[in-house]
Amino acid sequence: MIKEPSFTSIVKEEITTKPFNDERLRAMLSAYVKTNGRMVIQNKTTEIVLATENAKIAKFLFLIIQKLYGISPRFAYTRMMKFEKKVTYNVIIEEKSDAILEDLGVSFLSGKISRLLVSNDDTLGGYVAGAFLATGSVNNPASSNYHLEISTTDEDYAKYLVKLVGRYKNVDLTPKIIKRRNQFVVYLKKSDQIADFLILMGATDATLEYENVRVNRDFSNNDNRWQICANANMNKVVEASGKQIEEIQIIDRVVGIEHLPNEKMKLLCRLRLDNDGASMLELAEKMSDEMHNPVSKSNINHLFRAIHEMAERYKEVGE
């Protein structure tokens, strides 16, 4: 049975297919190296190892490095034989590693993000896209929980990432940070901000899918909420109507409705007995038609209060 790709995978794989310019690609690679890269010293030389479980992301990283620096990284992979037998792909930079780290403005000892590398909204979008490719995830919009996150082990870096996202000029993005075990998680929970963040990263097709599912689900929820409110209001009308009919019957047994001196009260009693499911507004409309004169909902309320007080006085007599 073929497993359906997660929404996170759909977003990430779309990002890897976009024709970004070199400046944006450089920002993406910098974020990926900082967020999910590690340095390995082999035979007195430094290697940069970039790991991912997504083959398309591994190919994307390979092509970026080849395009920007004219070198071909080495591929390696490891397979976990337990559980789901996952494969981890490693893109290993063996040449020019120190120069590449310097060009990308990456320091594994500092969480600071270089402003020279991220100087405008386009490179900002590239940088957060690179961080998302490395450790990001986003819930399927069909779920009841909207959530997008990027995790890192560096608290200072998480804080710089939040500041960076806050610099985006087109929309208001307000990510927060939470600590989860040894990770610092930068996250968004507002559905509209998640949609804007997907656009910022360049995942426009995924954004359209996200919005379509979200709108349909929210419409269904709103319809359900409307139905719940309608049912609650109907129950309220039925309950109030039952009490009013009971009080009218008490008055009818004691003095008779037709002998009531107030014409409006007499008419209202008859209308309520004939229309046990009508709301106050509907009774006001019916009475207005009968009397050829406007009768307000507040007037109906006032008359029912008078009927209640009269029924309370006659209750013992009626019994």
Q: Where along the chain do its domains lie? A: 7-202, 237-318
* 260/65: higher pLDDT: 65
**Weakest mean pLDDT among 141-145, 183-187, 228-232, 296-300:** 228-232
Identify residue 71 by its one-letter amino acid code.
I
Query: At how many degrees (to 10) do helices 121-135 and 155-166 cross?
Result: 140
Inter-residue contact 97 to 48 (CB < 8 Å): yes
Report the C-alpha dihedral over residues 244, 249, 254, 260, rounded to 10 degrees: 60
Cβ atoms 25, 64 nearer than 8 A: yes
Q: How far apart are CA 213 and CA 210, in angstroms?
A: 5
Question: What tens digit of pLDDT does each residue of 146-195 get?
Answer: 899 999 999 999 999 999 998 887 788 999 999 998 999 999 999 889 99
Is the predicted pLDDT of residue 138 greater than 80, yes or no?
A: yes
How is residue 216 written in tokens? 């349909």
Is pLDDT at 1 greater than 80 in this prediction?
no
Query: Which CATH architecture describes the domain 7-202?
Result: Roll (3.10)
Taking each helix axis from N to C end, the angle separating 191-201 and 7-15, rounded to the nearest 10 degrees, works out to 30
User: Mean pLDDT across the chain, nearest whole number?
Assistant: 86
**Which pLDDT belongs to residue 179?**
93
The pLDDT of residue 150: 96
d(CA 297, CA 103): 75
pLDDT at 220 exceeding the cut of 70: no
Percentage of the chain modeled with pLDDT above 90: 37
Helix (H, G, I), strand (E, B) or coil at 127: helix
Is residue 116 predicted with pLDDT exceeding 50? yes
